[in-house]
Amino acid sequence: MPLRKQINTLKLPSHVAIIMDGNGRWARQRGLDRIFGHQQGVNALREVIETAAELGIKYLTLYAFSTENWCRPDEEVSALMGIMIQSLNNETGTLIKNNIRLKVIGDINRLADDVKERLFETINLTSVSTGLNLVVALSYSSRWEITEAARRMSADVNNGTLKIDSIKEEDFEKYLTTYGIPDPELMIRTSGELRISNFLLWQIAYTELYFTNKLWPDFGKKDFYDAIIDFQKRERRFGKTSEQVLEK
Ligand code: FPP
């Protein structure tokens, strides 16, 4: 049976998060500069966004640039920023046409003014879209996000709008950059690395993890289908017993 037919569209993960890894290795394997890998990565990105929208997935979060990525060589950081601006220039029309809404999470203040301006323009232009929510993590790391949340929460305790004794998990979530977005049900990491690298640590408490050896530029529609099919075969227990889950 074709892969697409094996997907139960009534049991799609509402939110898929992706750690797009392996661009550098993809380029090096071909004797090319790492930047070519990132450029090629944009094609994979386009295909996966298209596939997610086609399937009717509501949220897709992509780890495009981590807080730690600021430490890469200057040329690579500026090339990545250039690719970002160019992608936004080229693809904003397609996002609007396909009813896709762009959102950004991360320490946006660290981005250069031209990147910020271009981002906010696309965010505003796509704000009326009601289809796929495309969340791009830029200058993002979970420890930054959680520290920032703790800082802002403490300020509210100080100014009396929040009482320490009444703080619940749901209150903490309001201070995270992902507030209003459901937790990912599926997280995919490419390139064979088996780690989370500071991505959505609070939000993935019960997320299904999927690792593939494919390098990000080689990851396409079929690979995305494979990940969803694998997800749909899993039993999600959320701490309960298998019997309790089946009783439902
Ligand atoms: C990881 O590969 C990839 C990145 C750090 C950047 C991902 C960016 C893109 C796919 C393009 C730009 C994004 C947008 C939203 C337009 P790596 O460089 O860590 O690869 P390696 O582990 O093989 O060195």
Cβ atoms of 132 and 52 closer than 8 Å: yes
Ligand 1 lined by 118 (C-beta under 6 Å): no
pLDDT at res. 238:
86
**Ligand 1 site-directed mutation target among 28, 32, 38, most atoms within 8 Å of CB:** 38
Instruction: Determine what percent of the chain is predicted with pLDDT higher than 70.
Output: 100
pLDDT at res. 230:
98
Q: Is residue 165 annotated as part of the catalytic site, yes or no?
A: no
Cβ atoms of 189 and 210 closer than 8 Å: yes
Q: Which three-class secondary structure state does DSSP give residue 126?
A: coil
| Extents of the domains making up the chain | 13-140+183-247
pLDDT tens-digit series, residues 41-81: 999 999 999 999 999 999 999 999 999 999 999 999 999 99
Give the up-direction half-sphere exposure of residue 154: CA atoms within 13 A in the CB hemisphere: 6
Domain 13-140+183-247 has CATH 3.40.366.10: no
| Helices marked H in the chain | 3-6, 23-29, 34-55, 74-97, 113-125, 142-158, 169-173, 221-232, 242-247
- Reply yes or no on whether the pLDDT at 141 is more than 80: yes
- Reply yes or no on whether the pLDDT at 248 is more than 70: no
pLDDT tens-digit series, residues 82-102: 999 999 999 999 999 999 999
- Reply yes or no on whether the pLDDT at 163 is more than 80: yes
d(CA 81, CA 206): 32
